[in-house]
Amino acid sequence: MTTFEAIPISQIDKGAAYITAGDGKAYPLDADELRRAFDAIVRDDSHGMITTGEAAQILGVSAKTVARILDAGEIPFVRYGAKGNRMVSRSEVIAYRDRSESHSRKALEDMRAAASEGGLNGIDYAAYLAHFS
């Protein structure tokens, strides 16, 4: 079990993840702790079905992007209500997010390897960009 130590929010690095109790103290989170906290929050749903707006928040994209993902068949959905609003399974959204993040990490690793194999790591970008000034 992890012991959390509170520190003043002013000591948190910009862009770092943390939880606060509203008293000016922050509890810094590493990537694993952040993922576990996020998963605990998004799992707190008794029905398991969420709106496309909630899915957009989980995925960090717009509702229109979620609609495109659903229309492409990437995440199954059901329509309900008189307006035919779409609902998706929270677990399906999280699984899609995890697949997407895994795919992105793999693509970045492949690009880094290709750059290294192609000798692109030693390029003097300042000199290259100076040609365009």
Confidence of residue 61 (pLDDT cuts 50, 70, 90): very high
Which CATH entry fits the domain spanning 45-133: 1.10.1660.10, 3.40.640.10, 3.40.50.20, 2.60.40.1220?
A: 1.10.1660.10
Question: What are the residue ranges spanned by the domains of the chain?
Answer: 1-44, 45-133
| Residue 16 reports pLDDT greater than 70 | yes
Q: Is the pLDDT of residue 46 over 50?
A: no
When pLDDT is averaged across residues 123-128 and rounded to a whole number, the result is: 79
Question: Model-level pTM?
Answer: 0.51
Confidence at residue 90, expressed as pLDDT on a 0 to 100 scale:
92
Mean pLDDT, residues 17-46 taken together: 74
3-state secondary structure the chain: CCCCCCEEHHHCCCCCCEEECCCCEEEECCHHHHHHHHHHHHCCCCCCEEEHHHHHHHHCCCHHHHHHHHHCCCCCEEEECCCCEEEEEHHHHHHHHHHHHHHHHHHHHHHHHHHHHCCHHHCCHHHHHHCCC
Average pLDDT, the chain: 83
Segment 14-27 mean pLDDT: 78
By mean pLDDT, which of 1-5, 8-12, 70-74, 110-114 is the weakest?
Answer: 1-5
pLDDT at 94: 93
